[in-house]
Each structure stands twice: as C-alpha cells, then as structure tokens.
Amino acid sequence: MSITDNQPSVIDEAEFTVRRTIRIAAPIAKVWSAVTEPEHISRWFGQTVLVGSGVGARGTMTWPENPAVPLEVEAFDPPRLVAYRWGNDNAAGAATAERDREHSTVFTFTLEEVAGGTQLTVVETGFQHTSDPAANLEDHRGGWDAELDKLVALFESSDR
C-alpha cells in the first residue's frame, strides 16, 4: 500500500488524543522490528537509543537541532503492541532531557496482520497534561503524518 492510500492522522479534542492507522505491505515481524528496535526506528523516526528491552527500557530520541527527548517503554506485547512515554512537550519551547511523567504523552503502536501486510495504528494520549494541549495536538498530528509516511516509504523502497 502506498503512502497516498493511507489516511492522515486525526485529533480527538475531547479525549486529547492523536490517532493514525496505516497499512504497510510487509509482514508483522518486520514492522514490529521497525517500531521496537532502535537501529530500525532511527531509519524513519528520530535517532533512537534505548537501554534495555521491554517494559522499563529507557533512552532518548533526537532530531537535528533539537534537544534529546526522554523515552521509556511502558507496555510491550510482541509482536502486537508497544507503548512509549516521551517528554515531548513542543509548546514548552524545547523538550527537556529530564523524565517528567506528569507532563509527558504516551504513544502506542498496535499491529495487526491483514491481507497483504500489516495494519499499524498509533494513538498518542496525554495532551491535556502538556503546556498547550491544542498546539501540541496539532503539532503531533502533523508529526505522525510525516513520520509514518517515512515508515511506509522505507518499506516501499527496500526489501527490509
């Protein structure tokens, strides 16, 4: 499935969530690796470092010209679900390298086998706890569109 076949992210303002579901023409095991293994995450998302594996693994995610964003695995159920907490409050000016559970959001990837590949749904929650919920919801909506399009393109352009 190509990028243009996937719908954009949607915001639920009442629930303070961003959601996007995409289809990827790849087996679930390969998509699982792409969303859980730092060397693969770094190919389509931010440069990722995790210490440990599974629930409790901690690390950072970075992008050029931005400070490191703290990252922690909150849920891990291979190969179906992984949830990450990150302190990525963009409206605060810059993410802090400190782990601030009170003002962080959680994004959860859920994977499902479908005909021809994998359906991946991301839901990011917790925006009501950020410095500017409306701005952060919109910023992350656009971010998930861009980042997940990169993931689909990665699978379309290679034999991962």
E strand intervals along 14-149? 17-24, 47-51, 58-62, 69-77, 81-86, 105-114, 117-125
- Mean predicted lDDT score pLDDT of the chain: 89
Confidence of residue 95 (pLDDT cuts 50, 70, 90): very low
Q: pLDDT digits over 29-77, tens only?
A: 999 999 999 999 999 998 999 999 899 999 999 988 888 889 999 999 9
Topology at the third CATH level for domain 3-157: Alpha-D-Glucose-1,6-Bisphosphate; Chain A, domain 4 (3.30.530)
Sorted by where each begins, the domain ranges of the chain are 3-157
Contact 73, 103 (CB under 8 A): no
The radius of gyration computed from the CA coordinates of the chain, to the nearest angstrom, equals: 15
Tell whether the model's pLDDT for residue 94 goes beyond 60: no
Confidence of residue 103 (pLDDT cuts 50, 70, 90): confident
Confidence of residue 109 (pLDDT cuts 50, 70, 90): very high
pLDDT top residue among 144 and 157: 144
Alpha-carbon span 149 to 153, nearest angstrom: 6
Predicted local distance difference test score (pLDDT) of residue 58: 94
Tell whether the model's pLDDT for residue 160 goes beyond 60: no
Q: What is the pTM of this model?
A: 0.90
